[in-house]
Structure 1
Amino acid sequence: MEDDDGGHEAPTRRDYVKYGGALLGGGLLAGCVGGDNGSTTPTDSTTASETETDTPTNTTTADESYTVGMAPMGTVEFESPPERIFTRLTHLAGMAFALGRGDDVNAMHAPDYYDALWNQFTPRLDGVTLDWTGLYSSWEPSKEKLYELDSDVHLADPASVFALQGWSMTDLEEIRNNVSPWFGNQFSDTHAEPPSEWADRYEYYGLWEMFEKVAQVFQEEDRYRALAEVRSNLLNTIASNLPPESERPTAVMIGASDLSSIYAYRLDDPGFLTAHTRPLEPNSAFSPTVASGDTVDTEALLEANPKVILALGGMHPGTDIGAIRNGLRDDEVTKQIDAVENDRIYAQGARYQGPILNLFQLEMTAKQLYPEQFGDWPTYAEGPYPEIPEGEQLFDRQRVANIVSGAF
């Protein structure tokens, strides 16, 4: 919506019909019907109960518009399920994909990178395809580009966009009013502090709690519940077969394409970035003084001496996991590490995962950490997610493919 001199028009009645309650009130949060920040205070639990709620958080009015509540936006009104979908981070793009809307995404962070990574998993889902190549790379979105994309929803956390240089509360409100609502939550990734302007309205959600709310935005609650059942069964399988704590190997996750700068990631941090490791209750080899994102040297990695090394991003087709293994074996320091000596260096996918990657990564990591309980993980060198014999699969691929495709 641009006028002739390049400025932006005030919203019209047509805009209200198109974008629903996003145009109510003044101020970014004042436009949220009822001023609610969601339903009950959410938790980041990894138990099956996270996926089960008795009280829906969306409501439908007589004119068939409906509202969905999530912090930090509050309650957002939609006139109809969005069609054109802007995303910024891949946990939300992955939610659209899980709901059968992956090809309606028009923007995301590093689209070509994540298209290649996600498509390491889609070959194991019969009939499911995905193409994110060439989309707008939205890590630092411009306001003008958001007008151009004319999305029906911005699956992005307005607090995280506000934290970017060049974005103000007025800018966020302008996009919400003139284009479409914001709906996202980023700082649940590690339970990090949001900008102070947003602190009193912020809450943290688990990956699947957030997925439930996104499903409500698209009126796809049945699809969410079907996938949540798959996850619940998978978590029950994991919980009932975990070895005693004393028998679990110490483990680390690292980014180590260059041994001169090894990025360390804890496996038990709060937040949805560990949604595929925390349920497995691993023993961290790093001391509590090492925080996720810290860099460590080879001596520190040897001091931790993990039994298992998980190589973040090792499944991406642009990453040579073989070279990473060889680099660790050839280095005079790291070759002494137990995980290196015993060939327990495993490829991982992504931490900003949506629901479908979460299912695969729960299965993958369970096998990598506890092969005696969950079956061996095949030695991975390249290509898509390995074929797992049907009797050793921890979740039903065909069921998931049917849900994503809408044939369930």
Structure 2
Amino acid sequence: MSEDDGRGIRPTRRDYVKYGGAVLGGGLLAGCTGTNEGNETNGTSDGSTTDGSDGTTTETETPTDGSYTVSMSPVGDVEFESVPESVFTRLTHHADMAFALGRGDAVNAMHAPDYYDALWNQFVERLPGVTLDWTGLYSSWEVSKEKLYELDSDVHLADPASVFQLGTWSTADLDEIGENIGPWFGNSFSARHQTPPTDWPGEYEYYGLWEQFERVAQVFRAQDRYDALAEVRDELLATIEADLPPTSERPTAVMIGSSDVEGDIYAYTLSNPGFLTAHTRPLHPVDAFEGAVESGTIVDLETLLEADPDVMLMLGGMLPTTDMGEIRATLESNAVAAEMTAVAAGRVHPQGARYQGPILNLFQLEMTAKQLYPDQFGAWPTYENGPYPEIPQGEQLFDRQRVADIINGDI
């Protein structure tokens, strides 16, 4: 596309946001250089990452004009002259990050907004004094340049390499949006350590969920909120790590997703690299498939019975439109499914979302710990539908009021 895309008048560059750092061919910033040359995963030097901060994020403030720089792959160094006020997102891990920093109302776009608004509010119900409304936002999966000009966002919390993968965007298009409207600042291929498009310029680095969240917090000059939430998470992880049973005493588990548990069933692994497992990997679950099934594989009930998990985790089980009681009844009445240990023992439990941000991560760490290890962390209530169940205060693994206060700015 031409620079003005046929509109005749090209908008002027924003005065308050500008790119810094290296430019590839005069176009889009391609990202950070690092120690990952030659790595077959095209990621970090060892192909793995933790979910905590490694201390490499930079935030520099220029004393004379108040500008500051934040760095993250694949965009590299991005310089801001003021804190962004309007926020474009595509995937929910970025939208949840904005929400966690008290900027949920600043989000103007996201993938399937009504669906995820309904899901997120199942959890937000348990945060006193916190509200969230993403209904009616622009559904941004198949994003267009014209719509981005219309939204006029201060920052695009979206991975430009992921947008490039749509096949309808060039790096020149991406650079045009970043230069004329607001910068790109997002990372999505860290979800499963996917390889970016082969013709994407430059290297690509992977981050844990909370590593990425810290960088986003610095974009909004909200390091204090990040630090406070990270402290809550660190305490939660310490509680879990202190009481994890030995491997020999852990149940086998699977995570599945299906709108029809007697039809096509998607199986997901629980410990593979990437932030999609940020709530299961720290619990060190035992894979009922023993590594024989890759994440996203379609399986049938016979395959599940062969694996015979002790615990079955159901993606989408926390949606307001899902009835876990009905799902359990369907499985119990099916001749094949009824033979599974998880079904017979009543250990078929709901899950929320894999593209989680920090707030959902806290809730999902707690719920999954209880679902897998009730003797250590307290039993997960028999859940059929409705909001995240009320857990007695003495059995909560993190402080809801503290999280609510942080979101609302009471650090």
- Shift, 1:76, TM fit: 0.7
Aligned to 2:39: none
- Shift, 1:392, TM fit: 0.5
Measured in 1, the distance between the counterparts of 2:400 and 2:152 equals 35
Measured in 2, the distance between the counterparts of 1:112 and 1:279 equals 30
- Shift, 1:404, TM fit: 0.3
Aligned to 1:117: 119
Aligned to 1:74: 76
Aligned to 1:337: 340
Question: Are 1:252 and 1:284, in contact at CA under 8 Å, matched by a contact in 2?
Answer: yes
Counterpart selection for 1:302 from 298, 301, 305: 305
Counterpart selection for 1:233 from 232, 235, 239: 235
Measured in 2, the distance between the counterparts of 1:400 and 1:138 equals 28
Equivalent residues in 2 for 1:4-403, closer than 5 Å: 7=7, 9-10=9-10, 12=12, 15-21=13-19, 27-30=26-29, 36-37=32-33, 45-46=49-50, 50-51=52-53, 53=55, 56-61=57-62, 62-198=64-200, 200-258=202-260, 259-403=262-406
Q: Can you list the C-alpha shifts for 1:211-236, whole angstroms capped at 9, x where unaligned? A: 00000000000000000000000000
Measured in 2, the distance between the counterparts of 1:36 and 1:255 equals 35
Measured in 1, the distance between the counterparts of 2:101 and 2:118 equals 19
Q: State the SS of the aligned residue for 2:169.
A: coil
Q: So what's the TM-score if we normalise by structure 1?
A: 0.93
The alpha-carbon distance between structure 1 residues 36 and 202, as it changes in their structure 2 partners (threshold 3 A), is closer
The alpha-carbon distance between structure 1 residues 113 and 190, as it changes in their structure 2 partners (threshold 3 A), is same
Where structure 1 has 5 or more consecutive residues not aligned to the other structure, the ranges are: none
Question: Are 1:37 and 1:75, in contact at CA under 8 Å, matched by a contact in 2?
Answer: no
Measured in 2, the distance between the counterparts of 1:148 and 1:137 equals 14
Amino acid at match of 1:328: L
- Shift, 1:168, TM fit: 1.2
- Shift, 1:149, TM fit: 0.2
- Shift, 1:146, TM fit: 0.5
Measured in 2, the distance between the counterparts of 1:22 and 1:16 equals 14
Measured in 1, the distance between the counterparts of 2:9 and 2:121 equals 40
Amino acid at match of 2:329: N
The alpha-carbon distance between structure 1 residues 314 and 356, as it changes in their structure 2 partners (threshold 3 A), is same
- Shift, 1:44, TM fit: 5.2
- Shift, 1:271, TM fit: 0.2
Measured in 2, the distance between the counterparts of 1:250 and 1:46 equals 23
Amino acid at match of 1:384: P
Amino acid at match of 2:27: L
Measured in 1, the distance between the counterparts of 2:171 and 2:404 equals 40
Range moving further from structure 2, 318-327 or 153-162: 318-327
Question: Are 1:39 and 1:57, in contact at CA under 8 Å, matched by a contact in 2?
Answer: no
Q: Can you list the C-alpha shifts for 1:135-176, whole angstroms capped at 9, x where unaligned? A: 000011011000000000000000000000311112111111
Question: Are 1:265 and 1:292, in contact at CA under 8 Å, matched by a contact in 2?
Answer: yes
Q: State the SS of the aligned residue for 1:192.
A: coil
Measured in 2, the distance between the counterparts of 1:36 and 1:65 equals 20
The alpha-carbon distance between structure 1 residues 179 and 394, as it changes in their structure 2 partners (threshold 3 A), is same
Amino acid at match of 2:18: G
- Shift, 1:126, TM fit: 0.7
Measured in 2, the distance between the counterparts of 1:24 and 1:282 equals 42
The total of aligned residue pairs comes to: 399
Where structure 2 has 5 or more consecutive residues not aligned to the other structure, the ranges are: 37-43
Question: Are 1:193 and 1:199, in contact at CA under 8 Å, matched by a contact in 2?
Answer: no
Question: Are 1:22 and 1:181, in contact at CA under 8 Å, matched by a contact in 2?
Answer: no
Question: Are 2:85 and 2:106, in contact at CA under 8 Å, matched by a contact in 1?
Answer: yes
Question: Are 2:21 and 2:78, in contact at CA under 8 Å, matched by a contact in 1?
Answer: no
The alpha-carbon distance between structure 1 residues 4 and 184, as it changes in their structure 2 partners (threshold 3 A), is closer
Measured in 1, the distance between the counterparts of 2:157 and 2:344 equals 44
Measured in 1, the distance between the counterparts of 2:383 and 2:295 equals 25
Comparing both structures, which one devotes a greater share of its residues to helix? 1
Q: Percent identity?
A: 66
Measured in 2, the distance between the counterparts of 1:23 and 1:56 equals 15
